[in-house]
Structure 1
Amino acid sequence: MSKYDNPEYRIATYHLGCELDLPDHALRPIRHLLGPSLGRIFWGDWLRLDAIDPEWISTPGDHDDPDWHRVDGWREQGGDHIQRKWKQRARLWIQWYSVDAWHVADWLVTAVAGEHAWLANVDDQGHPKKLMKCGTLERLVHEASRGLRERNASLARDVLLGPTDEHFLHDLGVGHTLVRLRSRAALRKEGAIMHHCIGQGGYDELLDDPDVALVSVRDADGNPLATLDIRNGYIRQFCARGNAEPSDAVRDLVASAVDAFCWQDWRDRPGSRADEQDYGPEAAVILRDLPPARRRG
């Protein structure tokens, strides 16, 4: 039996789709593509991990003092442990690989909306060959980057902003500024230039929230260098192009605004835990290694 006909595989990919947390209008058209793309990689990763330990797994890359997670679905609780098992595994996998997974999902959404020709080039099971040739998440990300390059270049070039789309927030010195993004068009353009998910729709509803500030770091020519997501005075995200960590120079520039606005690290907010991963479904890269000016004892 093909894994695509395996009921457990279908359960696994269903929960993976849920954890992507895309709006239904975006998820519905691409759900059939999740199996031969992210779902296939997700399933293969867990088969390899199950061969080592089907009950427990530690956080990838954390070798000194790893966090351990139970992934067998808690059989002793009875009921449908298979559903619990794949819900937990999907949650962890997206937590670990969220940026890459959302990047691939964005590519799939764009391809379906644009009726890209490669979708019609399928194998004997009806799966697009372009997806099936990608045996790793890295390869899927590579194909997604190629596929989105033209779309992003077009957005960056063609989206024209008016005076109400952005407004000046703070002078960072040496010609650099902070600009607050105030419209969907501003988010689309920022995301297209910076190659991260702020322009994919997940942040749109936050534009009307007075406790949320979506802010762009701009150089002397007005080009974005990094993007911040600030909620209730706490810096929740801070990412550079392609979701990379901002450079030391950019972090040092932003430190003056941190002092001016008394912003703090998201992990320092009341009630948070040092190991907390509750950054929300639309998160890109979580700010790490804050400059000392951002820490509040």
Structure 2
Amino acid sequence: MTAAAVLHQEVEIGLVQIRVSNLERSLKFYQEVVGLAILRRNGREVEMTADGERTLLILREIEHARVLRRNSAAGLYHFAILVPDRPSLGLVLRNLVASGIHVGQGDHLVSEALYIQDPDNNGIEIYRDRPRDTWTWNADNHVSMTTDPVDVDGLLAASEGLEWEGLPAGTVIGHVHFHVGDLAEASKFYVETLGFELTAHYGDAALFISAGGYHHHLGLNVWAGQGAPAAPADAPGIDYFTLVLPSEAERAAVLERVRRAGYEVMETAGVPSFTDPWNIGIRLVLNK
């Protein structure tokens, strides 16, 4: 039996492009509430950054956007912004509280996370990781994660006396989390075809997968319902995310597996791209 293909350990999530219904409203939110800055603008698309150099998020305005009920279709559950340290997350919390927005939270053992929704109900997680040597793995090589209350007082104390100046340099997209219509089909695509490895499995409702021993680069769930249809293109949600690969050889190997599994590979702006079974776009870029 041929061994299953596994993604290179240096694979990361690059950027995320999402659809919004009102670009100016979203720009105000992502600058003032989230703490990103405008990097460049091209018509109805705006690239946003934390360090002034690297694009983390692209906002694309769509006309006459359809409003969907939350958690009603396959597609974006949230994209997750990873800040470099605990004081940075404490400053994020202070700014979110000052903005008056509703903030969810969860201590996942491997990380501390804050959850918000943008004006179009696109989900956003902002989090910090605990050191990898504190993560616990079981005999099945699954990482221990849970959802406990965040130590809010500790976060605030960690940022005491610091000044909010937006998300700091070193901020990246840590992971993405999707509603899917079927976990088995999602696993076949993301694990068997792309080469991610399973790191946690929550019954028959959600699974978490990664490359290189990270706790998860992707979360996949059926909380929108088994058989949930793909979100329509005229509703807010995700267009695509990028996978950053370390070499052309690694990219070629992934593309070969994608084609062999029967998925069409296209060229978009010179970058190989394809879609998952729920029309979520994936673009394979190289680490520069």
TM-score by length of 1: 0.31
* Larger Rg over CA atoms: 1
More helix by share: 1
What TM-score do the two structures reach when normalised by structure 2? 0.32
